[in-house]
Amino acid sequence: MKKINPSPIPAIIWFIVTHVLLTLPGSAFPKENWLDKIYADKLIHTGLFAILSILCCWAILKRNISTDKLKIIFIRIGLICLAYGIGMEFVQKYWVANRSFDPGDIVADGVGSGIGVLFSFKRYIKK
What pLDDT digit, counting tens, does each position of 11-20 carry? Answer: 999 999 999 9
pLDDT tens per residue, range 45-95: 999 999 999 999 999 987 788 999 999 999 999 999 999 999 999 999 999
Q: Are 95 and 44 in contact (CB under 8 A)?
A: no
121: pLDDT confidence band, cut at 50, 70 and 90?
A: very high
Q: What is the 3-state secondary structure (H, E, C) of 69-105?
A: HHHHHHHHHHHHHHHHHHHHHHHHHHHCCCCCCCHHH
Entry pTM = 0.89
4: pLDDT confidence band, cut at 50, 70 and 90?
A: confident
Q: Which residues contact 95 (CB under 8 A, 6 or more apart)?
A: 23
Q: What is the mean pLDDT of residues 28-36?
A: 61
C-beta atoms surrounding 102 within 10 Å: 15
